[in-house]
Amino acid sequence: MRFTSALAPALAVLRSFQPPAKPRTLFGLQFPNPIGLAAGFDKNGVAIPAWEALGFGFVEIGTVTARMQPGNPRPRIFRYCEQRALINRLGFNNDGADAVAARLARLRARGRWPKIPVGINIGKSKAVPIEEAAGDYLESFRRLRTYADYIVINISSPNTPSLRSLQKSESLNELLRMIQEENARTIPRRPLLVKIAPELDHEDLEEIVRACEAHDIAGLIATNTTVDHSAIPNARNQTGGLSGAPLLRRSTEVLQFVCKNTRLPVVASGGIFDAQTTREKLAAGAALIQIYTGYIYRGPGLLQELIPAFG
């Protein structure tokens, strides 16, 4: 996809996979359709023109951290084809905020910036102590905001030690306060979203929702991967985040609870493989959807299959 993104004839071929338009307006942004590519697929923003050509209504790059980091030792991503699932423990491997910002600047300078919204998902650098996490996120925000149509604060990956502790009320409020104070000096202000974990109980979800509302967060993403591997018996001793079909039920339960307890729009992610699973997300209250593992297993024709679910 990186190679293809630089070749106009190749992009023209990819456009054969584009689904019919289903425009949506959300966060003050225009989406040609409600299907996005979830973070984790294009961590460094190397293939954005290709994702647009394939027909995604938006793309979310990252997770990007302030510091470059190689991620966890290999092997670190595993397929479980029978269960239509993946387990990854990538560990926020990425080129770092400076390198990603420079890459995006070149894309824009060459006139190849996409017409679809581009989100940037930011996370904590592994080397930074959890007590200094807010400043680390703030550093990434400052370097990347120029190139983001929206920014996602990732506090829910299971593959960075202690990261999920940032979902606790006191830590989350401090993090959101600092970033929104900087965002207030950004012209125009960027919509901020928060990506949450599927293991959260109702009390924790309510606290997160209240914090997001209090700090004028634009929306949430439900959910990240799960550390519950019980759906894959031969992977119970495996570490990392599980995605794909086994995540559908729990991620949809979280989505439904959040949608019932806030008026903030929620982007659904987790277990979307076909039109039926898309309808389940929409029935639970999703405003947009993102796909990742389903795209790996089903391929680029999946978008055309999903669009009819939106009516």
Whether 157 is a known active-site residue: answer yes
Query: Tell me, what's the pLDDT at 138?
Result: 98
Given 125, 157, 171, 243, the catalytic residue? 157
* Cα–Cα distance, 200 to 6 (Å, whole number): 42
Apex 297 CA angle, 292 and 302, nearest 5 = 75
Query: Is the Cα torsion angle 260, 266, 270, 272 positive or negative in sign?
Result: positive
CB 92 within 8 Å of CB 69: yes
Secondary-structure percent of the chain, ordered helix, strand, coil, rounded to 5: 40, 20, 40
CATH class belonging to 4-310? alpha beta
Query: Tell me, what's the pLDDT at 215?
Result: 98
Query: Tell me, what's the pLDDT at 234?
Result: 86
Query: Tell me, what's the pLDDT at 183?
Result: 98
Query: Tell me, what's the pLDDT at 79?
Result: 97
* Short-list 12, 56, 61, 16, CA closest to 32: 56
- Predicted confidence (pLDDT) per residue in 96-107, tens digit: 999 999 999 999
What does the domain layout of the chain look like in residue ranges? 4-310
* Cα–Cα distance, 40 to 240 (Å, whole number): 14
- Predicted confidence (pLDDT) per residue in 47-75, tens digit: 999 999 999 999 999 999 999 999 999 99
pTM of the model: 0.98
**Which residues of the chain, if any, have pLDDT below 70?**
none
